[in-house]
Amino acid sequence: MTKTILVTGGAGYVGSHACKALAAAGYTPVSFDNLSNGHDWAVKWGPLVVGDVLNPGDLDAAFAAHKPDAVMHFAALIEVGESVKYPEKFQLTNVTGSLNVLQAMGRAKVGRIVFSSTCAVHGDVGGALISETSPIAPISPYAKTKAEVEGVLADFSVSDGLKAVALRYFNASGADPDGEIGEAHDPESHLIPIACQAALGQREGMFIYGDDYDTPDGTCLRDYIHVTDLAMAHVKALERLDAAAPGVEAFCLGGGVGASVREVLDCVKKISGVDFPVTMQSRRLGDAPSLVADPRKAKTVLRWTPSHSDLQTIVKTAWAWHQKH
């Protein structure tokens, strides 16, 4: 029988790509989403349940109707700047919402979850590669909520025998190579889609925030990981839970290679053929000079090797998506 997976936030960017990967692996993904940031057009590989993680009744109804074998939990607020302005919103959605999901799982006797976390739980590590053993030192309210939920998962593993994997993403990027789904945030705050919009003339240009960092070209280094590769890591994490003992296991999901802001913009200009204007501005608060993964654990334990995450492929798929949509 096909196993059913409840995917909270399944109409969102990473969640919808995970649903496609789940379906390809023989699962039935059920997307549970309030559509505040997700899109109904992104739900193509299983049913959509419109509901809110802040409403326990919505969750109970979804568990009762679809009887999932496990949960993938993406539903969250993600904008770092917004979290600084409105930390209470992030506590409510990201922490209370996650507690509601876990409690609903308990009532439905579902004991496995893959949690969408972030490398930001490690904060600024001073340019070192970030691994699962790097200190947990979040510096934004958003990152603090993700670290807090990882702690709650550990508590539930003791109290309820929960089996959990926390996947700490680096910079999710790119779009489905088949062009079926892609990145469509409103407002958009991520570098590659903003650059694509500038190339399409949807923006007058864009900014680089700081060119005086201790990096090869002075701009921030980030580890960009294709969303399709991220989606496959979720499927592999789910499979790992089949034979796991109660507990929480974390994995850093990155390619292990940093690309600078300037390199990304040059790549978008080359692939689009548009030399859009770029303006220098001062540094932003909270931007670390370098955030790059040490992905060895994910590669050896999950047997996960990114195959779409070179910068050219990421930008080509993103550009194709934005041209089309």
Q: Are residues 9 and 126 in the same domain?
A: yes
Percent of the chain with pLDDT over 70: 99
pLDDT at 243: 87
pLDDT at 187: 79
Please report where in the chains the tokens 């996947």 appear, as a residue.
Answer: 167
Q: Give the model confidence (pLDDT) of 191-220 as tens digits.
A: 999 999 999 999 998 999 999 999 999 999
Encode burial over 233-271: b for 16+ CB neighbours within 10 A, e otherwise. Answer: bbbbbbebbeeeeeebbbbbbbbbbbbbbbbbbbbbbeb
Please report which residue ranges of the chain form alpha helices under DSSP H.
Answer: 13-24, 56-66, 80-85, 87-90, 97-108, 141-160, 191-199, 227-241, 261-272, 296-301, 311-324
Q: Give the model confidence (pLDDT) of 162-176 as tens digits.
A: 999 999 999 999 999
Our answer to whether residue 224 is catalytic in this structure is no
Domain span at residue 199 reads 191-223+256-292+306-324
Q: Are residues 8 and 51 in the same domain?
A: yes
pLDDT at 188: 81
pLDDT at 1: 56
Q: Are residues 280 and 159 in the same domain?
A: no
Of residues 288 and 236, more confidently modeled: 236
- Of residues 142, 169, 213, 224, which has the active-site annotation? 142
Q: Give the model confidence (pLDDT) of 259-286 as tens digits.
A: 999 999 999 999 999 999 999 999 887 7
Q: Are residues 71 and 148 in the same domain?
A: yes
Q: Give the model confidence (pLDDT) of 55-108 as tens digits.
A: 999 999 999 999 999 999 999 999 888 888 999 999 999 999 999 999 999 999
Q: Are residues 129 and 229 in the same domain?
A: yes
Domain CATH for 119:
3.40.50.720
Q: Is residue 278 part of a domain?
A: yes
Q: Is residue 274 part of a domain?
A: yes
Query: pLDDT tier at 294 (50, 70, 90 boundaries)?
Result: very high
Name the average pLDDT for the chain.
95
The pTM for the full model equals 0.95
Q: Is residue 297 part of a domain?
A: no
Q: Are residues 75 and 208 in the same domain?
A: no
Looking at the 3D structure of the chain, how many domains does it have? 2
Query: pLDDT tier at 127 (50, 70, 90 boundaries)?
Result: confident
Q: Is residue 178 part of a domain?
A: no
pLDDT at 287: 80
Query: pLDDT tier at 315 (50, 70, 90 boundaries)?
Result: very high
pLDDT at 55: 98
Q: Are residues 55 and 198 in the same domain?
A: no
Q: Is residue 182 part of a domain?
A: no
Q: Are residues 137 and 199 in the same domain?
A: no
Q: Are residues 216 and 122 in the same domain?
A: no
Strands across the sheet containing 290-291: 259-260, 221-222, 290-291
